[in-house]
Amino acid sequence: MALLIVEDQRPPDADAARYTSALEVGDVLYFEDLKPGLSADDIAWLLSTRADGSGLHKNVSYRPGQNLVRGYANKSDAERLRLVMQQYSEWAVEFLGNFLTPYSEKWALDYASFRPIEENGRELPLHKRNELLHVDAFPSRPTFGGRILRFFSNINPNEKRVWQVGGGFDELAEKHATAAGLGSIGDGPSIGERLMMSTGILPKRSGYDRFMLRFHDHLKEDGEYQAKTEKHLMEFPPNSSWAVYTDGVPHSVLSGRFALEQTFIVPFDALVRPEVSPLRILEGLSGTQLTS
C-alpha cells in the first residue's frame, strides 16, 4: 500500500492501465497541486458554510442522479450549494475519467459530498466515527461486488487533511473476517432482513453487501484492532486531491475540514485485477459465492 504521486494530468492509455491496477491493489493516487474546477468565489463561499447541525448528517451530500443536495444548514444556501456541487461532480468525473479510462464508461456515479466540519474531536456514534479505521459499505446502496472508488479534494487553504491507513484487505480479512461473521453469510439474510427487503424498507443486498456492512461496524467496535494494528499516516495538504478504493483500504480521518468528494461504483466486470478485489478475497476465505 503506497501513495502514488501523479504528475501528468492527461496520462496516455498505458498509464491509465497502471493507475487502475495500482488502485485495485490498495495504492492511493495522489495529485499534489490540483484545484477543483470551481471559481475562487465559489470556494470562498464554501469555506463560509456549515453543515446541518441537526445530527442527521455528517456532511453535505449531493445526489447527481437527482440533482439534489442534502445536509445544508440554511435553506437559502440550497440552490447555490446544488450548483456548486453539481459543478464539482462534473469536474471530478471528467478529470478522473482521463486517468481511469478502463472504468470511465462503466462506472456508476454515486453521491458527492462536502465535509465542512473539523474531524478532530467530532462527537459521533461509534459506527459513524471517522477517526476509527474502517472499510466503507453503504447501507442504502449495495454494490453486489462492485467497488467503492472515492475521489477527494482538500479545498482548505491553510490546513492538511490527515488520514491513517491500515494494511491490505487480504491480511485484514484473514485476521478479522471470521470474527465479523463471514461464516454465517452463506445462510442468507435473517427473517427480519428478508421482511424489510420485501417491503422496501431495506434495499435488496447480496451476501457480500451484508458482510461488508458487518465488517465496517466490526472493525470500529474492535478496540484491540484499533489500538494495535499497524497504521500509516497520510497527509493531504491544501489544493491536493487523491483517489482510493475505500472498500479495500482500511482508513480513518484524524483531522481536517473543507474537503470535497465524489464517489463512483466500479462494477466487478470493469476491474482489471478482480482477483485482488474484496469480493474474491472473501469468497476465497468463505468458500461461498457471495453475490446472491
Q: Per residue in 114-159, pLDDT tens? A: 999 999 998 899 999 999 999 999 999 999 999 999 999 999 999 9
Residue 73 has pLDDT above 60, yes or no: yes
Domain covering 3-286, topology: Jelly Rolls (2.60.120)
Helix ranges restricted to H, the chain = 13-24, 40-47, 78-99, 101-104, 169-176, 191-198, 207-221, 223-228, 278-286
- Report pLDDT for 257: 95
- Report pLDDT for 55: 47
The residue assigned the cell 479534494 is: 153
Q: Given pLDDT bands bounded at 50, 70 and 90, which one contains residue 193?
A: confident
Q: 35-62: per-residue pLDDT in tens?
A: 899 999 999 999 997 666 544 456 899 9
Dist. CA 135–CA 239, nearest whole Å: 25
Q: Closest Cα partner for 43 from 84, 94, 83?
A: 84
- Report pLDDT for 19: 93
Torsion of CA 129, 25, 160, 7, to 10 degrees: -160
Task: Identify whether the C-beta of residue 59 lies closer than 8 Å to the C-beta of residue 51.
Answer: yes
Of the chain, the percentage scoring pLDDT greater than 90 comes to 78
Q: Closest Cα partner for 9 from 95, 73, 123?
A: 95
Q: How many CA atoms lie within 13 A of 106 on its CB side?
A: 14
Residue 269 has pLDDT above 90, yes or no: yes
- Report pLDDT for 277: 98
Q: Given pLDDT bands bounded at 50, 70 and 90, which one contains residue 191?
A: confident
Beta bridge partners of 61: 70, 113
- Provide the grid cell at 33: 497541486
Q: 26-30, 95-99, 145-149, 151-155: which range is least confident on average?
A: 95-99
Stretch 206-212: mean pLDDT? 97
Q: Which residues contact 79 (CB under 8 A, 6 or more apart)?
A: none
- Report pLDDT for 11: 67
* pTM tops 0.85, yes or no: yes
Q: Give the other-Cβ count within 10 Å of 227's Cβ.
A: 7
Q: Given pLDDT bands bounded at 50, 70 and 90, which one contains residue 76?
A: confident
Q: Which residues contact 164 (CB under 8 A, 6 or more apart)?
A: 133, 231, 232, 233, 234, 251, 252, 254
- Report pLDDT for 292: 87
Stretch 178-196: mean pLDDT? 84
Domain extents in the chain: 3-286
Of the chain, the percentage scoring pLDDT greater than 70 comes to 96
Residue 164 has pLDDT above 90, yes or no: yes
Dist. CA 55–CA 57, nearest whole Å: 6
Task: Identify whether the C-beta of residue 53 lies closer than 8 Å to the C-beta of residue 73.
Answer: yes
Stretch 251-271: mean pLDDT? 98
- Report pLDDT for 150: 98
